[in-house]
Amino acid sequence: MTRTITILGATGSVGASTIDLIRRERDKWRVMALTANCQAAELAELAKELNAEVAVVADESCLPALRSHLSGSQTLAAGGAGALNEAASRPADITIAAIVGCAGLAPTMAAIEQGKTIALANKEALVSAGEVMTAAVSKYGTTLLPVDSEHNAIFQCLAGNSYDHVRSITLTASGGPFRDWTLEQLAAATPAQAVKHPNWDMGAKISVDSATMFNKGLELIEAHHLFPVGLDKLRIVVHPQSVIHSMVEYRDGSTLAQLGPSDMRVPIASCLAWPSRMDTPCAPLDLAALGELTFRAPDEDRFPATRLCRLAAEAGGAAPAVLNAGNEIAVAAFLAGHLPFTRISVMVEELLGRYAPAAPVALDDVIAIDAEARGRARQLLELV
Ligand code: NDP
């Protein structure tokens, strides 16, 4: 049976992994919409290859380029925020939400409102919108499947069990490329060093988040919304080999873990095939070759991000959206060479201390808080 699929963020790292899996089962999928921000040539190539109904660039200034690359093809070209939301709301059996940052929030919400299945990679959207997004998922009867490897692991470990029996959920963290660096070394870390993740091949933003440990903090907030067992039951452990992707401990003392290669095609395949399974080209785990799996507690003196994220989750309301916006601006500034690595979390903490708006109740509130927080974060940058 053919299923329809939309990929928001098709030109990114998660988009590429998804498309790799689709190519291997081409006859099973009909592609509705593919989107990008401005990589028009890449998007057009994918749209032509996969015979997509519509291709959208979020940045409208890139639409002429997309049109020209798509000329003569069957695919409709569109551009701008409205077109992105319209494409996301076209009925698709499954939507892969893989735009980076809060920019993915509105189209992801548009897809959620169709009441089908969303495979969510775009953690910043859930972190920022929190209850607004989970309420929409309930209201529209949408199935939300986690793509993030940790949450996908937890989702698998929870299958068939009740939250009532969960004693704790542990998110594993590789610790990123700087896990053994001193504070002095961290202060001099460069963008090129930060995006070189030891285990995973990912987009620039999430790679920096892994280096600061904001990624794990954002994942803690994400887990808080996806698996409502209470923040006090959510833990983080550093596991440098990234073989165990996360674990759930039950009241009887059993701990279930999900293991797999550090390849996003595994959790993406789990979402594409859910509740069944599909083949992937990933090499099987060779535990004897791995030799050992090690664990250690996170060091919040060197990496304060997880502490800040837990505080924002505890505060609730607008705090996670403010934290996320501040982090997005700080990461962009770091990547552009305008902010030292160790100032990322300092700036986010300052922003959280200065801007505490009322809790959002609707999508527009989240978008307004995000925009205001970004403006204030930019002002803080000018003071650095
Ligand atoms: P990439 O940077 O590789 O790709 C991002 C995608 O989003 C691209 O298609 C990009 O288009 C598009 N995009 C960027 N900015 C905008 C915008 N303003 N409006 C609309 N589209 C935009 O990111 P990743 O694939 O690494 O990550 C995507 C999401 O998945 C993130 O939230 C990340 O945290 C999460 N994730 C990623 C993992 C990974 O392994 N990469 C693992 C787990 C979660 P263009 O190419 O035109 O710029």
Per-residue pLDDT of the chain (384 residues; tens, 9 = 90+): 899 999 999 999 999 999 999 999 999 999 999 999 999 999 999 999 999 999 999 999 999 999 999 999 999 999 999 999 999 999 999 999 999 999 999 999 999 999 999 999 999 999 999 999 999 999 999 999 999 999 999 999 999 999 999 999 999 999 999 999 999 999 999 999 999 988 888 999 999 999 999 999 999 999 999 999 999 999 999 999 999 999 999 999 999 999 999 999 999 999 999 999 999 999 999 999 999 999 999 999 999 999 999 999 999 999 999 999 999 999 999 999 999 999 999 999 999 999 999 999 999 999 999 999 999 999 999 877
pLDDT reported for residue 383:
78
Whether 106 and 156 share a structural domain: no
In sequence order, the 6+-apart residues with CB closer than 8 A to the CB of 295 are 172, 237, 238, 239
Does ligand 1 have an atom closer than 6 angstroms to the CB of 58? yes
Residue 305, token pair as written in the block: 């991000």
Instruction: Write down which residue in 146, 175, 190 finishes a domain.
Output: 146
Q: What are phi and psi of 19, to 5 degrees?
A: -65, -35
d(CA 259, CA 321): 31
Does ligand 1 have an atom closer than 6 angstroms to the CB of 169? no
- Site to substitute for ligand 1 among 197, 206, 331, 335, most atoms within 8 A of C-beta: 206
In which order are the strands placed within the sheet that holds 166-173? 234-238, 166-173, 244-250, 255-259
pLDDT reported for residue 141:
98
pLDDT reported for residue 109:
98
Does ligand 1 have an atom closer than 6 angstroms to the CB of 88? no
Whether 155 and 233 share a structural domain: yes
pLDDT reported for residue 132:
98
Q: Is 313 helix (H, G, I), strand (E, B) or coil?
A: helix
Does ligand 1 have an atom closer than 6 angstroms to the CB of 97? no
Does ligand 1 have an atom closer than 6 angstroms to the CB of 206? yes
Could you tell me which of 172, 287, 179, 305 has the C-alpha nearest to residue 238? Answer: 172
pLDDT reported for residue 156:
98
Cα dihedral 56, 58, 64, 65 in deg (nearest 10)? -80
Whether 12 and 106 share a structural domain: yes
Q: With beta carbons less than 8 A apart as the criterion, state whether 267 and 202 touch.
A: no
Residue 318, token pair as written in the block: 């607008």
Whether 92 and 193 share a structural domain: no
Closest Cα to atom 15 of ligand 1? 37
Domain that holds residue 164: 151-261+293-316
In sequence order, the 6+-apart residues with CB closer than 8 A to the CB of 178 are 185, 186, 189, 193, 194, 211
Does ligand 1 have an atom closer than 6 angstroms to the CB of 15? yes
Whether 174 and 255 share a structural domain: yes
Whether 200 and 94 share a structural domain: no
d(CA 58, CA 38): 7
d(CA 57, CA 40): 7
In sequence order, the 6+-apart residues with CB closer than 8 A to the CB of 61 are 38, 79
For β-strands 166-173 and 234-238, DSSP reports them as: parallel
Query: Residue 321 falls within a domain, yes or no?
Result: no
d(CA 235, CA 306): 10
Amino acid at 122: N
Q: Determine the Cα angle at 297 with ends 131 and 265, to 5°.
A: 60
Q: With beta carbons less than 8 A apart as the criterion, state whether 140 and 115 touch.
A: yes
Whether 9 and 125 share a structural domain: yes
Instruction: Write down which residue in 94, 129, 146 finishes a domain.
Output: 146
Closest Cα to atom 42 of ligand 1? 148
Does ligand 1 have an atom closer than 6 angstroms to the CB of 39? yes
- Site to substitute for ligand 1 among 14, 84, 118, most atoms within 8 A of C-beta: 14
Query: Residue 378 falls within a domain, yes or no?
Result: no
Number of the ligand 1 atom closest to the C-alpha atom of 264: 40
Number of the ligand 1 atom closest to the C-alpha atom of 40: 47
pLDDT reported for residue 199:
87
Does ligand 1 have an atom closer than 6 angstroms to the CB of 122? yes
Whether 127 and 193 share a structural domain: no
Does ligand 1 have an atom closer than 6 angstroms to the CB of 200? yes
Number of the ligand 1 atom closest to the C-alpha atom of 9: 9
Instruction: Write down which residue in 95, 125, 146 finishes a domain.
Output: 146
Number of domains in the chain: 2
Question: Cα separations (Å) of 346 from 179, 181, 212?
Answer: 18, 18, 11
Residue positions counted in the chain: 384
Whether 201 and 113 share a structural domain: no
Does ligand 1 have an atom closer than 6 angstroms to the CB of 203? yes
d(CA 308, CA 330): 14
Element containing residue 234 per DSSP (H, E): strand 234-238
Whether 238 and 103 share a structural domain: no
Ligand 1 center–CA 99 separation, angstroms? 4
Closest Cα to atom 41 of ligand 1? 202
d(CA 221, CA 97): 18
CA atoms within 13 A on the CB side of 126: 28
Question: Cα separations (Å) of 145 from 63, 226, 254, 269, 338?
Answer: 31, 9, 24, 11, 36
Whether 186 and 123 share a structural domain: no
Task: Note if the bond before 275 is cis, omega within 30 degrees.
Answer: yes
d(CA 88, CA 118): 11
Whether 298 and 312 share a structural domain: yes
pLDDT reported for residue 230:
98
